[in-house]
């Protein structure tokens, strides 16, 4: 399985080059891979629906970190969306991006990467593996939504999506680590088993509750639940194929998948199901309500997605068998109707040049095929027979009617209200896109088969899946097997089907349909006026972000005051205050401290001391630098005397180079230290601090080096293994063999330092070179500051 | 005489009738020579000559240190620093406008090459199923003439070596030439005897 995920990455790396050669071929290759993934998954379906197919690669076993993938019913359902719908969207994208589109190459590669990450996410069987893929999808979607970064709208949408989802992701990481700590495992099956056996941290209920809430933060932000929902409609700034993929098949489903994945384990805990169900219901109602006010077809669908995600959250959060059956059916149904609806909007956008339902007119007459297609998908969204959406919705009503009690009835009525709104915005969408409203028919160029074909295939699958409800039941049943059937005996036998006979659920469906149509027909004054003043999640987000930026600017202004002595003073003071008392209290001078080991140490040591003392009296910068050099060479000499030629060599060379670098810089500095003598009151504390710091460091060196009586145990191993590493020089063997990772890290730091120095010094020069005119980088200018502060 | 031949140390273009075999020992290109030197009073010919002699020698020594590192003091870090110091010497003797060798490689490329070699050396064992950064040793025997030990971790050292040279070159470019050029562009005359304002 890991190989399949990796194949996505490998292909993504090749796609930009392929897209430069032929754009459609690139998308085609992507579609082929996704389709192959779907076939591969279907081939393993029997095993997956049974015990599940697993694949484990140890990553860092010492940390309990491993890449652990497992294909089960939930993963299978999601692969249908991620790979199946994804393949269709890739085909659609091949026709959507124009022949000269500069975005095509990047988009193709990113879409395939995204599909791979999403695949990893739905297959993940280990919380840490899941987290890795989780954040990778956040990053990829940031790049997808941001596009080339040329438009402010795209940038803002991408940043908002990233900030919100990564904020949730980090909270989730905390929760995962906490949960892993108290449960002793990151493996999801082990956690589920422990939770259902009641042995999951029975003595630490508070820690468990905190970890669950933190993990939920990830799910709620990623799936755009109240109050984190605004990022999703804003992400509509991305091109339509990308929106379709993010919304229908993948990214925003991640939160739902997480709740579904962990639901069997945790839905018995109040702290898990209450936020999921309450926020899910609220999101469903709010999303539906706001969709009724939209005039942009794409944003209407986006709020519809928000609403549907709330619905899915409720179903997976409830933790009952029938609700889970309904959840899987709705998960599939949502992907199968939302993707074609988005594709239709993209086609309308291409054909008419607008997506505004106030401007579209008479499209239904002239593009009958498109209208039929949209209606087919829309009926599934509204939950009408014989489509999969109906099957799912029936099961959803049934689940909570069966459950009964306060929770059951409250949720059932809530779902009814949400479905009513769903019907209303579906009607608004179809009416807005295809009805004849004005006198001036708009656009309506023929839609190429490449744009309509994938949508047809997707919508027809939704229709077929309605009739093939027993097949869906197989998948859903396998997922819901472990969940308790809440309600009477019928709850254990309930199966997904098109017809359950007359009953309360059917009545609910009829009520939602009639109510929704009435709301659409007569409710316009109501929906356009009713809004809650003063409360806006988007404004809340903006307030938080600008508040953080203000705080950061204020804090930086206080801390970074631009005085080197103050910075050094702070560092030294911290060094003295924190470990200093510990050293005084517990440090013991070594017993046999000889004044010197070799007589040669005395003159060299004296030289270092004299140079250091003279350094404090130096008035000229050049003298000071030379004295620093003398101290350095003296220390190098001490290394030679102590028998460390390697260290001494490095010390001498570095000292020489430092001297040269100093001299370079000194050319631009005044010859003398221009410290006016009047500042004596500052000088005394400075000297005091420096002296105490020096004494402290020297004392620490003596105490700590005296504390070690035996050579460290690792040394023996190093010495013993040095010949095996082919080295007679132990230092070299350590540097390039035993501790080679450290060496690579260190040289990377050197690279960063060199790049940093060059940027600082050369920055001004590059500004000047832009065609003779001065081009400033922009940061720090009043305009930029204003933009940041909003 | 063209302006380029005014530059000290440059060879005059050989007369047309010269045959190839008469020119075999003449330097074919400019190496390690200062470019325009507007103020001839600031030149120190002794230093220039010494630098010219020392530069290749020091480079060879740095390579020696690189290979010697496994058995005695030295290694990629020290070797790289020594090589870097050779370039520093050249910079000091040649001035800000030393055009470098005819092979123009920008310092960041050298730095990046070094890091790439080091990282690839670390990752290479994965291809043979080893752990990251594990090393191998081969002994190539030459019969009675002795043998050579080849250790793969030497490649890591080569990476370090290149990276350090690149860092020093970058330092010369930014702090050396960069600062001087900035000063010139700002209209400031370089201080006499540009070795710090103390003299």
pLDDT in tens, A462-484: 899 889 888 889 889 888 888 88
Q: What is the pLDDT of residues B29-78, one digit of tens each?
A: 454 444 555 555 566 778 878 888 888 899 999 999 998 888 888 888 99
Q: In terms of CA atoms, which chain A residue is nearest residue B181? A: A765
Nearest to B171 among A724, A725, A754 (CB): A754
pLDDT over 80 (residue A487):
no
Cβ contact, residue pair A762, B174, below 8 Å: yes
Q: In terms of CA atoms, which chain A residue is nearest residue B81? A: A653
Q: What is the pLDDT of residues A310-351, one digit of tens each?
A: 999 999 998 888 999 999 999 999 999 999 999 999 888 888
Distance separating alpha carbons of residues A228 and A221, to the nearest angstrom: 6
Q: What is the pLDDT of residues A87-127, one digit of tens each?
A: 999 999 888 887 777 778 888 899 999 999 999 999 998 89
Contacts 24+ apart (CB under 8 A), B99-108: B99/B30, B99/B33, B99/B35, B101/B31, B101/B32, B102/B29, B102/B30, B102/B31, B107/A754, B107/A758, B107/B166, B107/B167, B107/B169, B107/B170, B107/B172, B107/B173, B108/A754, B108/A755, B108/A758, B108/B166, B108/B170
B-proximal residues of A, 700-739, CB under 8 Å: 724-729, 731-733, 735-737
pLDDT number for residue A637: 94
Q: In terms of CA atoms, which chain B residue is nearest residue A656? A: B85
Decide if A748 touches B, using CB distance below 8 A.
yes
B54, B131, B174, B192, best to mutate vs chain A, most A CBs in 10 Å:
B174
Q: In terms of CA atoms, which chain A residue is nearest residue B108? A: A755
Distance separating alpha carbons of residues A765 and A774, to the nearest angstrom: 10
Contacts of A471 (CB under 8 A, 6+ apart): A465
DSSP A159-204: HHHHHHHHHHHHHHHHHHHHHHHHHS--BHHHHHHHHHHT-SSTT-
Residues of B with Cβ-Cβ distance to A762 under 8 angstroms: 173-174, 178
Cβ contact, residue pair B81, A670, below 8 Å: no
Cβ contact, residue pair A729, B157, below 8 Å: no
Distance separating alpha carbons of residues B65 and B82, to the nearest angstrom: 9
Nearest to B81 among A657, A664, A725 (CB): A657
pLDDT number for residue A215: 93
pLDDT over 70 (residue B6):
no
Give the residues across from B151 on adjacent strands: B137
CA nearest neighbour of A142 among A10, A238, A11: A238
Cβ contact, residue pair B197, A670, below 8 Å: yes
Nearest to B115 among A724, A736, A748 (CB): A748
- Collapse the DSSP code of A686 into the 3-class scheme (helix H, G, I; strand E, B; otherwise coil) and give the result: helix
Distance in Å from the first CA to the final CA of chain A: 47
On whether the CB atoms of residues A33 and A85 are closer than 8 A, the answer is no
Give the phi and the psi of residue A286 in degrees, each rounded to 5.
Answer: -65, -45
pLDDT over 70 (residue A767):
no
Which has more confidence, A162 or A764? A162
pLDDT number for residue A676: 59
Cβ contact, residue pair A661, B194, below 8 Å: no
pLDDT over 60 (residue A790):
no
Contacts of A519 (CB under 8 A, 6+ apart): A292, A420, A421, A423, A424, A526, A527
Residue A54 is given by DSSP the state E
pLDDT number for residue A173: 94
Cβ contact, residue pair B69, A645, below 8 Å: no
pLDDT number for residue A35: 94
Place of tokens 């019969």: B143
Cβ contact, residue pair B174, A758, below 8 Å: yes
Residues of A with Cβ-Cβ distance to B196 under 8 angstroms: 621-622, 625, 663, 666-667, 671
Q: How many CB pairs under 8 A join A and B?
A: 180
Distance from CA of B58 to the nearest CA of A (A): 13
pLDDT number for residue A113: 92
Half-sphere exposure of B6 (CA within 13 A, CB side): 7
A654, A657, A664, best to mutate vs chain B, most B CBs in 10 Å:
A664
- Please name the helix (run of DSSP H) or strand (run of DSSP E) that holds residue A68, with its range, or none: strand A65-71
- Collapse the DSSP code of A254 into the 3-class scheme (helix H, G, I; strand E, B; otherwise coil) and give the result: helix
Distance separating alpha carbons of residues A459 and A337, to the nearest angstrom: 6
What is the rounded average pLDDT of the residues A369-378? 90
Decide if A654 touches B, using CB distance below 8 A.
yes
pLDDT band at B122 (very low <50, low <70, confident <90, very high): confident
Residues of A with Cβ-Cβ distance to B77 under 8 angstroms: 650, 735
pLDDT over 70 (residue B25):
no
pLDDT number for residue A778: 46
Q: What is the pLDDT of residues A591-627, one digit of tens each?
A: 777 888 889 999 999 999 999 999 888 888 889 999 9
Cβ contact, residue pair B85, A653, below 8 Å: yes
Pairing status of strand B147-151 against strand B137-141: antiparallel
Give the residues across from A53 on adjacent strands: A71
Distance from CA of B110 to the nearest CA of A (A): 10
Q: In terms of CA atoms, which chain A residue is nearest residue B172? A: A661
Distance separating alpha carbons of residues A616 and A639, to the nearest angstrom: 24
pLDDT number for residue A780: 47
Which has more confidence, B11 or A733? A733
Q: What is the pLDDT of residues A409-463, one digit of tens each?
A: 999 999 999 999 999 999 999 988 888 877 677 766 777 888 888 899 999 998 9
Q: In terms of CA atoms, which chain B residue is nearest residue A650? A: B78
- Please name the helix (run of DSSP H) or strand (run of DSSP E) that holds residue A70, with its range, or none: strand A65-71
Q: What is the pLDDT of residues A278-301, one digit of tens each?
A: 999 999 999 998 888 888 889 899
pLDDT over 80 (residue A771):
no
pLDDT band at A655 (very low <50, low <70, confident <90, very high): very high
Which has more confidence, A492 or A555? A555
CA quadruple B56, B62, B64, B66: dihedral positive or negative?
Answer: negative
pLDDT number for residue A439: 67
Residues of B with Cβ-Cβ distance to A751 under 8 angstroms: 111-112, 115, 163, 167
Residues of A with Cβ-Cβ distance to B62 under 8 angstroms: none
Nearest to B156 among A728, A740, A755 (CB): A740
What is the rounded average pLDDT of the residues A136-141? 90
pLDDT over 60 (residue A394):
yes
Whole-number percent of chain A with pLDDT over 90: 35
Q: In terms of CA atoms, which chain A residue is nearest residue B179? A: A761
pLDDT number for residue B153: 83
Nearest to A657 among B85, B135, B182 (CB): B85
Q: In terms of CA atoms, which chain A residue is nearest residue B66? A: A732
Nearest to B153 among A649, A671, A737 (CB): A737
Which has more confidence, B21 or B75? B75
pLDDT number for residue A451: 84
Nearest to B118 among A654, A727, A744 (CB): A744
Interface pTM, i.e. ipTM: 0.77
Nearest to B157 among A648, A665, A736 (CB): A736
Tokens of A368: 């009958």
pLDDT over 50 (residue B191):
no
- Collapse the DSSP code of A361 into the 3-class scheme (helix H, G, I; strand E, B; otherwise coil) and give the result: coil
A747, A752, A769, best to mutate vs chain B, most B CBs in 10 Å:
A747
> pTM above the 0.95 mark?
no
Distance from CA of A227 to the nearest CA of B (A): 45
Tokens of B165: 């040279």
Distance from CA of A342 to the nearest CA of B (A): 44
Q: In terms of CA atoms, which chain A residue is nearest residue B114? A: A747
On whether the CB atoms of residues A65 and A128 are closer than 8 A, the answer is yes
pLDDT number for residue A772: 57
pLDDT band at A65 (very low <50, low <70, confident <90, very high): confident
On whether the CB atoms of residues A458 and A346 are closer than 8 A, the answer is no
pLDDT number for residue A311: 93
Q: What is the pLDDT of residues A245-266, one digit of tens each?
A: 887 777 788 899 999 999 888 8
Residues of A with Cβ-Cβ distance to B71 under 8 angstroms: 727-729, 732
pLDDT band at B193 (very low <50, low <70, confident <90, very high): very low
Residues of A with Cβ-Cβ distance to B175 under 8 angstroms: 661, 664-665, 757, 761
DSSP A536-569: -HHHHHHHHHHHHHHHHHHHHHHH--S-HHHHHH
Residues of A with Cβ-Cβ distance to B74 under 8 angstroms: 646, 649, 729, 732
pLDDT over 80 (residue A711):
no
B-proximal residues of A, 658-697, CB under 8 Å: 660-661, 663-671
| Most confident listed range (A522-531, B25-34, B73-82) | B73-82
pLDDT over 80 (residue A783):
no
């Amino acid at each position: 399985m890991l190989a399949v995920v990796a194949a996505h990455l490998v292909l993504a790396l090749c796609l930009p080059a392929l897209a430069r050669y032929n754009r459609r071929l690139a998308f085609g290759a992507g579609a082929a891979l996704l389709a192959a993934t779907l076939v591969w998954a279907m081939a393993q379906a029997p095993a997956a629906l049974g015990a599940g197919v697993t694949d484990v690669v140890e990553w860092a076993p010492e940390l309990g970190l491993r890449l652990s993938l497992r294909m089960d019913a939930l993963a299978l359902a999601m692969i249908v969306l991620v790979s199946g719908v994804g393949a269709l969207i890739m085909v659609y994208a091949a026709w959507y991006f124009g022949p000269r589109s500069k975005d095509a190459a990047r988009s193709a590669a990113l879409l395939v990467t995204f599909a791979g990450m999403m695949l990893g996410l739905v297959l993940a069987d280990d919380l840490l593996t899941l987290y890795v893929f989780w954040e990778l999808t956040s990053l990829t979607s940031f790049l997808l939504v941001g596009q080339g970064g040329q438009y402010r709208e795209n940038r803002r949408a991408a940043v908002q999506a990233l900030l919100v989802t990564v904020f949730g992701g980090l909270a989730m990481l905390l929760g995962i680590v906490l949960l892993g700590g108290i449960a002793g495992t990151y493996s999801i099956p082990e956690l589920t088993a422990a939770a259902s056996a009641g042995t999951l941290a029975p003595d630490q209920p508070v820690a468990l509750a905190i970890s669950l809430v933190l993990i939920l933060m990830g799910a709620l932000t990623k799936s755009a639940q109240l109050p984190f929902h605004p990022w999703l409609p804003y992400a509509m700034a991305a091109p339509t194929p990308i929106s379709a993929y993010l919304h229908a098949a993948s990214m925003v489903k991640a939160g739902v998948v997480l709740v579904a994945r962990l639901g069997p384990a945790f839905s018995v805990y109040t702290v898990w199901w209450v936020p999921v169900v309450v926020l899910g219901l609220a999101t469903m109602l709010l999303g539906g309500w706001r969709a009724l006010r939209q005039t942009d077809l794409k944003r209407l669908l986006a709020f519809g997605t928000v609403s549907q995600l709330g619905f899915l959250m409720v179903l997976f959060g409830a933790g009952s068998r029938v609700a889970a059956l309904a959840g899987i059916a709705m998960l599939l149904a949502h992907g199968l109707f939302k993707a074609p609806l988005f594709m239709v909007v993209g086609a309308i956008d291409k054909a008419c040049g607008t997506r505004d339902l106030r401007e579209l007119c008479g499209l239904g007459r002239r593009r009958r095929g498109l209208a039929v297609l949209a209606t087919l998908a829309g009926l599934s969204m509204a939950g009408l027979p014989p489509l999969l959406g109906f099957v799912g919705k029936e099961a959803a009503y049934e689940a909570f009617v069966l459950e009964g009690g306060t929770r059951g009835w409250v949720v059932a009525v809530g779902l009814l209200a949400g479905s009513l709104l769903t019907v209303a915005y579906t009607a608004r969408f179809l009416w807005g896109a295809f009805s004849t409203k004005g006198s001036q028919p708009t656009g309506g160029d023929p839609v190429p088969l490449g744009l309509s074909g994938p949508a047809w295939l997707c919508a027809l699958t939704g229709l077929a899946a309605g009739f093939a409800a027993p097949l869906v039941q197989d998948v859903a049943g396998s997922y819901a097997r472990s969940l308790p059937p809440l309600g009477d005996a019928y709850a254990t036998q309930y199966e997904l089907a098109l017809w359950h006979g007359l009953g309360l659920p059917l009545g609910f469906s009829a009520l939602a349909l009639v109510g929704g149509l009435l709301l659409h027909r007569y409710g316009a004054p109501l929906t356009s006026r009713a809004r809650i003043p003063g409360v806006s999640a988007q404004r809340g987000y903006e307030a938080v972000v600008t508040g953080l930026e203000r705080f950061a600017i204020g804090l930086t202004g206080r801390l970074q005051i631009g005085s080197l002595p103050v910075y050094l003073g702070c560092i030294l003071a911290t060094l003295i205050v924190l470990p200093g008392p510990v050293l005084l209290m517990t440090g013991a001078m070594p017993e046999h401290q000889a004044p010197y080991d070799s007589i040669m140490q005395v003159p060299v040591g004296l030289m270092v001391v004299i140079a250091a003392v003279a350094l404090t009296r130096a008035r000229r910068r050049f003298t000071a630098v030379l004295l620093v050099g003398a101290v350095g060479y003296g220390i190098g000499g001490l290394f030679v005397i102590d028998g460390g030629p390697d260290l001494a060599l490095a010390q001498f060379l570095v000292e020489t180079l430092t001297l040269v670098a100093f001299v370079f810089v000194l050319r631009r500095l005044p010859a003398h230290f221009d410290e006016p003598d009047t500042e004596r009151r500052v000088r005394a504390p400075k000297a005091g601090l420096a002296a105490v710091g020096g004494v402290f460091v020297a004392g620490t060196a003596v105490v700590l080096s005296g504390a070690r009586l035996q050579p460290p145990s690792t040394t023996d191993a190093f010495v013993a293994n040095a010949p095996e590493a082919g080295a007679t020089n132990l230092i070299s063997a350590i540097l390039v063999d035993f501790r080679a990772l450290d060496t690579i890290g260190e040289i990377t730091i050197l690279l960063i330092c060199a790049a940093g120095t060059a940027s600082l010094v050369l920055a001004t020069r590059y500004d000047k070179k832009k065609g003779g005119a001065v081009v400033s980088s922009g940061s720090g200018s009043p305009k930029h500051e204003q933009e940041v502060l909003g | 005489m063209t302006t380029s031949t005014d530059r000290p140390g440059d060879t005059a273009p050989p007369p047309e009738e010269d045959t190839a075999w008469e020119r075999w020992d003449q330097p074919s290109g400019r190496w390690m020579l200062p470019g325009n030197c507007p103020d001839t009073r600031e030149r120190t010919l002794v230093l220039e000559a010494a630098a010219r002699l020392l530069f290749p020698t020091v480079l060879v020594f740095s390579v020696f240190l690189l290979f010697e590192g496994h058995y005695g003091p030295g290694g990629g870090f020290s070797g790289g620093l020594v090589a870097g110091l050779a370039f520093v010497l050249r910079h000091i003797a040649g001035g800000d406008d030393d055009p470098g060798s005819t092979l123009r490689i920008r310092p960041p490329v050298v730095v990046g090459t070094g890091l790439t070699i080091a990282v690839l050396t670390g990752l290479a064992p994965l291809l043979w199923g080893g752990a990251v950064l594990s090393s191998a040793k081969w002994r190539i025997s030459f019969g009675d003439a002795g043998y050579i030990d080849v250790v793969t971790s030497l490649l890591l050292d080569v990476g370090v070596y290149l990276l350090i040279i690149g860092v020093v070159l970058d330092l010369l470019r930014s702090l050396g030439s960069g600062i001087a050029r900035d000063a010139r562009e700002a209209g400031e005359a370089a201080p006499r005897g540009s070795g710090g304002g103390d003299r």
